[in-house]
């Protein structure tokens, strides 16, 4: 019996999940480009408001979505009934969290207010955050259902749902952002918006489009889950009656993931809000390059998801040696991918930055290029190290090592990274380049922490599911 996972096995899971994340990346990239073409204020407002909203929503959504790890491990243990019960428990958690999402709205407004952004920018940030938080329950449910499909070997269906949902989001973006006016600079007419009487909504329109596409993807995922052979004749009570012991077990392992997501995303939100106090060029260049960064790193999230699924399945089958090799195989693929991305970033720096140039921006294309080129160099440097963070965090989550991930990221972010950024920007009066260099050093240090944890293998002793 082999003790090493083959690249063929890994790619069978990786390719559909990477395609799924590529679709999301294209959607997000198009969303940012359309907002930039609408106005320079729109692109400046979308990133901080989006990060604040996602930070609050992701805490609860990631707890419910950890049911996907249970599904993967039960699938490895060849227990279809337990897979279904784990998915149902995740859905019940998503429903239980609905009242909490509504309570998050005042908190999101307060966080955006204390950032100290200009009033005109705050007026755009609030509605963007509102619709992203209102759509939170659907995002959580979509993550749960997607985790079931991927964990039970149906990752291809997830990629199909993602492509269709993201295509719908782009279409709705065009309609809701520009309305009847259309976008002449991109050759997009406003004919359909005129016929459908959809007004020009700018930033708010983009967030409404995201919520509607999320609802559609959620319904589509539910349809495919119901059609799965092992679910067609399953009694309805399996889905409707809560299994509180399983819910409690999911919360036990998923809560550290939620806390980690909250404080990790929160740290990044603080970073974005801190840099938002700099001049317009620094803010725009930082937000634009972060959007370009998402274009690359969303693919790595697909590798991270694949590593979590493979690790979970092999751990469920009690084959830790295969889980270890699968994690390293995903890491190797991530480094190959980052080499290609680095070459693209170096060869097409100006072209990538010019895509986001807004009409009437208070800076020239050359100014944006000179500053953006330096920030892109930071992305290239930290990319190879952050690949270790992203992939190995996914692998450790699949094994149930969520407590270590939470401690490493929370302590690292709030005791090292954010204090260093505050010293850099507020005490030493550093600029955006200095802030990005601090972030690069932090990511490099963090990568060796997770590599050491994975190599030691303490995660092999964790038991997520009952024998």
Nearest to 371 by CA among 344, 398, 353: 353
Of 41 and 370, the one with more pLDDT: 370
pLDDT at 125 over 80: yes
What is the mean predicted confidence (pLDDT) over 217-237? 88
pLDDT of residue 408: 94
What is the mean predicted confidence (pLDDT) over 387-411? 93
The CA-to-CA distance between both ends of the chain, in Å, stands at 22
pLDDT of residue 282: 80
pLDDT at 331 over 70: yes
Please, which residues bridge with residue 13 across strands?
none
Of 181 and 244, the one with more pLDDT: 244
pLDDT of residue 186: 62
Distance CA 66, CA 80 (A): 17
Cα angle 72, 74, 78 (rounded to 5 degrees) comes to 110
* 3-class secondary-structure state, position 183: strand
Distance CA 447, CA 155 (A): 28
pLDDT in tens, 23-54: 877 777 777 778 877 777 777 777 778 878 88
pLDDT-based confidence at residue 109 (cuts at 50, 70, 90): confident
pLDDT of residue 464: 82
Cβ proximity of 387 and 331 under 8 Å: yes
pLDDT in tens, 420-448: 988 988 788 888 888 889 999 999 999 99
pLDDT in tens, 126-182: 888 898 898 889 989 999 999 999 999 888 898 899 889 988 988 888 888 877 666
What is the mean predicted confidence (pLDDT) over 95-102? 88
Residues belonging to the chain: 467
Handedness of CA 213, 219, 223, 226 (dihedral sign): positive
DSSP notation for 285-300: HHHHHHHHHHHHHHHH
Distance CA 192, CA 153 (A): 39
Q: Quick one: DSSP state of residue 200? A: P
Phi then psi for 190, rounded to 5 degrees? -105, 25
How does the average pLDDT of the chain come out, rounded? 85
107 sits in which H/E element = helix 98-114
Exposure of 336 by Cβ count < 10 A (0-12 exposed, 13-18 middle, 19+ buried)?
A: exposed
- Count Cβ atoms below 10 Å from residue 347 Cβ, excluding itself: 10
- Count Cβ atoms below 10 Å from residue 364 Cβ, excluding itself: 11
pLDDT of residue 91: 94
pLDDT of residue 289: 84
Cβ proximity of 204 and 128 under 8 Å: yes
pLDDT-based confidence at residue 225 (cuts at 50, 70, 90): very high
Task: Give the rounded percent of residues in the chain with a pLDDT score beyond 90.
Answer: 29
Task: Give the rounded percent of residues in the chain with a pLDDT score beyond 70.
Answer: 93
What is the mean predicted confidence (pLDDT) over 1-29? 76
Distance CA 285, CA 280 (A): 8
pLDDT at 1 over 60: no
What is the mean predicted confidence (pLDDT) over 72-83? 90
- Count Cβ atoms below 10 Å from residue 414 Cβ, excluding itself: 15
pLDDT of residue 146: 92
The two three-digit tokens of residue 409, written as one number: 């990221």
> What is the pTM for the complete model shown?
0.81
Nearest to 303 by CA among 86, 66, 7: 7
């Amino acid at each position: 019996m082999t003790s090493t996972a083959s690249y063929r096995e890994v790619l069978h899971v990786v390719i559909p999940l990477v395609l799924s994340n590529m679709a999301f990346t294209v959607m997000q990239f198009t969303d940012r480009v359309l907002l930039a073409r609408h106005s320079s204020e729109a692109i400046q407002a979308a990133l901080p408001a989006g990060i604040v909203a996602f930070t609050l929503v992701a805490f609860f959504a990631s707890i419910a979505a950890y049911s996907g790890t249970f599904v993967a491990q039960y699938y490895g243990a060849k227990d279809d009934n337990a897979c279904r019960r784990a998915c149902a428990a995740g859905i019940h958690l998503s429903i239980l969290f609905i009242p909490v999402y509504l309570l998050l709205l005042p908190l999101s407004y307060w966080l955006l207010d204390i950032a100290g952004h200009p009033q005109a920018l705050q007026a755009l940030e609030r509605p963007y955050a509102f619709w992203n938080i209102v759509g939170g329950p659907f995002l959580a449910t979509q993550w749960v259902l997607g985790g079931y499909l991927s964990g039970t070997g149906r990752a291809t269906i997830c990629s199909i749902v993602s492509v269709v949902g993201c295509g719908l989001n782009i279409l709705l973006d065009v309609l809701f952002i520009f309305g009847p006016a259309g976008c002449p600079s991109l050759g997009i007419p406003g004919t359909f918006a005129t016929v459908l009487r959809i007004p020009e909504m700018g930033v708010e329109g983009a967030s409404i489009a995201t919520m509607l596409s999320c609802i559609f993807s959620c319904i589509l995922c539910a349809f495919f889950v119901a059609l799965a052979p092992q679910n067609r004749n399953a009694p309805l009570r399996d889905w409707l009656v809560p299994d509180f012991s399983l819910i409690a077990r999911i919360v036990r392992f998923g809560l550290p993931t939620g806390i980690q997501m909250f404080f990790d995303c929160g740290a990044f939100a603080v970073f974005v809000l801190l840099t938002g106090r700099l001049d317009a060029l620094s803010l725009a260049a930082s937000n634009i390059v972060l959007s370009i960064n998402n274009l690359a790193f969303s693919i790595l999230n697909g590798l991270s998801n694949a590593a979590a699924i493979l690790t979970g399945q092999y751990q469920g089958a009690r084959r830790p040696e295969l889980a270890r090799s699968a994690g390293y195989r995903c890491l190797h693929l991530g480094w190959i991918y980052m080499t290609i991305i680095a070459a693209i970033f170096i060869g097409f720096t100006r072209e990538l930055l010019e895509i986001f140039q807004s009409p009437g921006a208070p800076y020239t294309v050359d100014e944006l290029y000179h500053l953006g080129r330096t920030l892109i160099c930071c992305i290239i440097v930290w990319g190879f190290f952050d690949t270790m963070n992203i992939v190995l965090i996914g692998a450790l989550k699949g094994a149930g090592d969520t407590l270590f991930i939470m401690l490493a990221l929370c302590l690292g972010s709030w005791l090292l990274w954010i204090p260093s950024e505050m010293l850099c920007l507020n005490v030493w009066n550093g600029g955006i380049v200095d802030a990005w260099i601090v972030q690069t050093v932090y990511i490099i240090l963090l990568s060796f922490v997770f590599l050491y944890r994975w190599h030691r293998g303490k995660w092999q002793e964790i038991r997520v599911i009952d024998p």
